[in-house]
Amino acid sequence: MADRFQELLEELRQGVTEYDEERVKVAAQAVLDEGFDAYDAVMNGLAAGMEEVGRLFGANEYFVPEVLMCADALYGGLEILRPHIEVDPSRQVKGAVVIGTVEGDVHDIGKNLVKLMFEIAGFTVHDLGRDVPLEKFVEEVLSTDSDFLCMSAMMTTTMGGMKQVIDQVRQKNPNVKIMVGGAPLTGDLAQRWGADGYGKDAPNALQEALRMVGSLREMHQEAAKGG
Amino acid sequence: MATATKTARERVMALFARERQTPVPVFSGMGNVTVYGLEDAGIGFAQVHGDAEAMARAAASSYERFGYEAVVVPFDLGVEAEAMGRTLNTYASSDGILYPTVQNKLPATADNFQVPADLELRGRIPLVAQAIRLVKERLGEQVAVGSYVLGPFTLAGQVLELDQLLKLAGKDQTQMHVILERAGEVAAREAEAYRAAGADFVTVREMGAASDILSPRMFRNLIQPHLKEVFAQVGGPTVLHICGSTQNIVEMMADCGATAVSVDQKNDLAASRATLGPEKLLFGNLDPYKVLVQGTPEQVREAVRNCVAAGADAVWPGCDIWPTVPAENMQAMMDASREQA
């Protein structure tokens, strides 16, 4: 029984890393049909596969097209498994996140990968999309009472908008965790603007998102041990 | 000394004819408008893209005020998408400077990318051509007039959804080649329209194909053949510019048929020079934001000296000049090359 589950987890991992959406879907369906735990399959199958994708990207073996295809394969499995995840507050990361690309910027690939990471982890994601007017971020964070705000900008020309949003959100709710990412940012700048986290440049932002899948899995494992 | 009597245009055109210049020319083939130029033209950034006269005046300003050795129009990256029927947002109501973006990209299929028969008459291509004519009439004797077009992949990514296009590159190379061939036709015909209007040189910007995004193998199989097609069709001096990680593809870039290759600050210019050898024209690679906007004049001088020392045949900022660049930094950039000579 345990061996069979390991086999399915390996199928999910490989299906993701080899961007084979059909293979992921078949394995995900088998997880359900054979009565295994959907949440385990997401974290130790799909997310583990994406962690490996992050490693391959960092090692210049995979580039953006491959990462996007892997993400599609992951989504194929996630759609099957997610409705069957039993909500167990003791082991799931909870919370809500508002995410979007700032006004003037239509580059949303990195943002979508960060979004994927939050979805895997079970967050409620409010995706504002791309080219989002600055006031919309503030409104959405307040109206949804979200814990996280993630903003991205791929261009020097648009990143300044983030500071305005951070200032306005902080004024109204100092506890919101704010992460910023995108090619033109620096850690120094993100810190000066009052953000809690940042992605150093385009590939690093992508990697940061993929790396966070890993750290969220750790959180899950810690929570599982504790619970 | 002969150099003292040469015009900026003579220096740049001689460089394109492979006669190295002293001092090393400082110019670029990408957007060079500054807030001072916008002030001179009496127009806002959002409005300048749609006004040939203002565009010509604003572009000329970087030469007139600072001695920048080229005048380049346009300033945005949406001309092709607009000519292909897409709609731009110019952020007319925004206070800050935001570049226009494409609002309604299409699903990434070959069917969705058709070259209009009357391409040269569509969108703002006639307006950019008119701005080139105006600059040429007024300053054509003194300074090189440049324009730019997007490379096939980057151009396709402005018309079609970029994430879908990237996946298509991984999944369906046959369909990608169809799209890129059509995009290459757009780029070449647009470039020829600008040359006919008087552009002395044309830059092809293929920023979407850097090694941050595509593998060098994909660059070789998918990108390079279509860049070669474009450069085979465009006459006169041409430059291939790719920003981002280019170390692993700089040799292929130099083999696309452009007169010169330009890279940005992520490239180790000295290493690229060693790879390419002494003959190839290599431009670069001043950091347009961290140095030119955020640096001190002394840091700008040092960065210019470093470009020259690394083997740049011309000092080019790695991207468009960001309009809020401090005037003293523009001046420092120009002075540094002259001082060194």
* Residue closest to A68 by CA, chosen among B154, B2, B168: B168
When CB atoms are compared, the residue of B97, B213, B215 closest to A157 is B97
Mean pLDDT, residues B109-132? 98
The answer to whether B322 contacts A63, with C-beta atoms less than 8 Å apart, is: no
Domain count across chain A: 2
Tokens 């690093």, residue located: A204
| CA distance to partner chain A, nearest, from residue B248 (Å) | 11
Domain extent at residue B171: 2-340
Evaluate whether residue A118 is within a structural domain: yes
Tell me, yes or no, if A214 comes closer than 8 A to chain B by beta carbon: no
**What's the average model confidence in pLDDT over A16-31?**
98
Is the complex ipTM higher than 0.85?
Answer: yes
Determine, yes or no, domain membership for A212.
Answer: no
User: DSSP string of A78-113?
Assistant: HHHHGGG----TTTS---EEEEEEBTT----HHHHH
Q: Which of residues 68-87 of A touch B (CB under 8 A)?
A: 68-69, 72
Task: Give the pair of three-digit tokens for residue B66.
Answer: 């600072």
The answer to whether residue A112 sits within a structural domain is yes
- The per-residue pLDDT for A207 is 57
Pick the closest to residue B31 from B64, B65, B70 (CA basis).
Answer: B70
In a domain, A10, yes or no: yes
Whether A47 contacts A120, CB under 8 Å: yes
What confidence tier does A227 reach under pLDDT thresholds 50, 70, 90?
very low
Q: How deeply is A90 buried, as exposed, middle or buried, from its count of CB atoms within 10 A (0-12, 13-18, 19+)?
A: exposed
Min mean pLDDT across A92-96, B70-74, B259-263 is at: A92-96
User: Choosing among A20, A53, A57, A64, which should be mutated to test the B contact, i.e. which has the most B CBs within 10 A?
Assistant: A64
Nearest CA among B147, B150, B115 for reference residue B130: B147
* C-beta separation of B97 from B43 below 8 A: no
Both A103 and A9 in one domain: the answer is no
Question: Residues of B with CB below 8 A from A202's CB?
Answer: 212, 244
Do A105 and A199 lie in a common domain?
Answer: yes
The reply to whether residue B166 touches residue A64, judged by beta carbons under 8 angstroms, is yes
Cβ <8 Å between B171 and A202: no
pLDDT band at A44; cut points 50, 70, 90: very high
What CATH number is associated with residue A40?
A: 1.10.1240.10
Q: Are residues A79 and A105 in the same domain?
A: no
Would you state the pLDDT for residue A214?
Answer: 59
Residues A26 and A110 in one domain: no
For residue A211, is it within any domain?
Answer: no
User: Residue A96's pLDDT is what?
Assistant: 85
Beta pairing class for B101-102 and B144-150: unpaired
Q: Please identify, among A68, A86, A104, the residue that sits at the C-terminal boundary of a domain.
A: A86
A42 and A73 share a domain? yes
Domain holding A202, by residue range, is 96-206
The pLDDT of residue A144 is 93
Q: Please report the pLDDT score of residue A87 as a whole number.
A: 67
Q: Please tell me the predicted confidence (pLDDT) of residue A89.
A: 60
pLDDT digits (tens, 9 = 90+) for B153-201: 999 999 999 999 999 999 999 999 999 999 999 999 999 999 999 999 9
Residues in chain B with CB shorter than 8 Å from the CB of A108 are 163
Q: Which residues of B touch A59 (CB under 8 A)?
A: none
Give the least confident one: B73-82, B92-101, B176-185, B205-214: B92-101
B212 in contact with A at a CB cutoff of 8 Å?
Answer: yes
CB A100 within 8 A of CB A151: yes
- How confident is residue A200, by pLDDT bands cut at 50, 70 and 90? low
Do A37 and A112 belong together in one domain? no
Residue B12 pLDDT greater than 60, yes or no: yes
Give me the mean pLDDT over the B226-233 stretch. 98
- Write the CATH number for B135: 3.20.20.210
- Let me know if residue A217 belongs to a domain: no
Asked if B101 and A106 come within 8 Å (Cβ–Cβ), the reply is yes
The predicted pLDDT at position B94 comes to: 81
User: Looking at the complex, does the CB of residue B204 fall below 8 Å from at least one CB of chain A?
Assistant: no
pLDDT at B270 over 80: yes
Residue A110 has pLDDT above 90, yes or no: no
Same domain, A138 and A43: no
Each residue's pLDDT tens digit, B21-74:
999 999 999 999 999 999 999 999 999 999 999 999 999 999 999 999 999 999
CATH of the domain at A174: 3.40.50.280
Q: What is the pLDDT of residue A178?
A: 86
**Nearest Cα residue to B196 out of B261, B155, B136, B124:** B136
Shared domain for A82 and A101, answered yes or no, is no
**What does the block give as tokens for B170?**
């991984």
Strand A148-152 with A177-181, pairing: parallel
Question: What is the mean pLDDT of the segment spanning A135-152?
Answer: 92
Number of domains in chain B: 1
Q: Are A15 and A66 in contact (CB under 8 A)?
A: no
Interchain CB contact of A187 with B (< 8 Å):
no
Here the contacts of B37-46 (C-beta below 8 Å, separation 24 or greater) are B37/B61, B37/B62, B37/B65, B37/B323, B38/B323, B40/B64, B40/B65, B44/B92, B45/B75, B45/B97, B45/B98, B45/B323, B46/B90, B46/B91, B46/B92, B46/B94, B46/B98, B46/B100
Are A117 and A167 in the same domain?
yes
Other C-beta atoms closer than 10 Å to the C-beta of B270 total 14
A57: in domain: yes
Same domain assignment for residues A197 and A118:
yes
Average pLDDT, chain A: 86
Where residue B1 falls among pLDDT bands split at 50, 70, 90?
very low
Contact B215 A106 (CB under 8 A): no
Task: Output the pLDDT for position A93.
Answer: 59
Q: Determine contact, residues A207/A54, Cβ cutoff 8 Å.
A: yes
pLDDT reported for residue A223: 67
Mean pLDDT of all residues in B304-316: 97
Interface touch A63/B96, C-beta < 8 Å? no
